[in-house]
Homo-oligomer: A and B are copies of this chain.
Amino acid sequence: MPTAVEFWFEFASSYSYPAALRIQAAADRAGVAIAYRPFLLGPIFREQGYESSPFVQYPAKGRYMWRDLERICAIHGIAFRKPSSFPRTSVLGARLVAAYADEEWVPGFVRALYRANFESDRDIDDAAVVRECLAASVADADARIAAAQAEPLKQRLRDNTTRAAALGLFGAPSFRVGDARSGYELFWGNDRLDEALAWALGRHALQR
């Protein structure tokens, strides 16, 4: 049984969009389990000394990113429209996934919320948008939303973000393979999805 791959993502993150849309199907094909790990980039960026998203702070990098993302989505056949507001996160969406990470509706909900932002240009910080995406997957959306916003479940997103910093994550999407005991690998960026899956299967050129 191959080790699971942790998928660390933030709903605001542009390059997380194609990764989020592709990862479950790619992992199913490879026979690798995915552990969904939403976190917030804001505290991570602030700790590193960024004042905003690098794509906002460095405009040339931001201009490039939007064109690159357009090309990447075309390659993978993913619908894409540049959001009219960026970065646009969803704390509620991230709390829901952090609270219920192992439930089977999570992959579909993650895809739906990313598509709301990067395909349909909807405000994913609006609770009504989140509820709509969730209600498409589960019967008791309102109960889960209420529980995810209250302790003890609310704490899980904060824990994820603290853990992301401790693991050395600095951006999203990131993939983590392995564990602290026997050593782990980090892979950063949508470009590294296939490599992370290959690493989980032991198919890699470099032995530790």
Interface of A toward B, CB cutoff 8 Å: 48-49, 57-58, 60-61, 63-64, 67-68, 70-71, 74-75, 168-171, 185-189, 191, 195, 204-206
Contacts and interface: CB of A to CB of B under 8 A. Distances in A.
A31 to B, nearest CB: 22
The 10 closest A-B pairs by CB, nearest first: A74-B206, A74-B205, A60-B170, A75-B205, A191-B191, A61-B170, A60-B168, A48-B58, A71-B206, A64-B186
Given A74-B206, A205-B75, A186 B67 contact: yes
B74 A48 contact: no
A7 to B, nearest CB: 17
Contact of A68 (B48, B58, B74, B188): B188
Given A48-B58, A57-B49, A205 B71 contact: yes
Given A48-B58, A49-B57, A168 B64 contact: yes
Given A60-B169, A71-B195, 9 more contacts: A49-B57, A60-B170, A64-B186, A67-B186, A68-B187, A70-B206, A71-B205, A74-B204, A74-B206
Contacts of A74: 204-206
A185 B66 CA distance: 12
Contacts of A70: 206
Nearest to A75: B205
Contacts of A204: 71, 74
A64 B57 CA distance: 21
A72 to B, nearest CB: 9
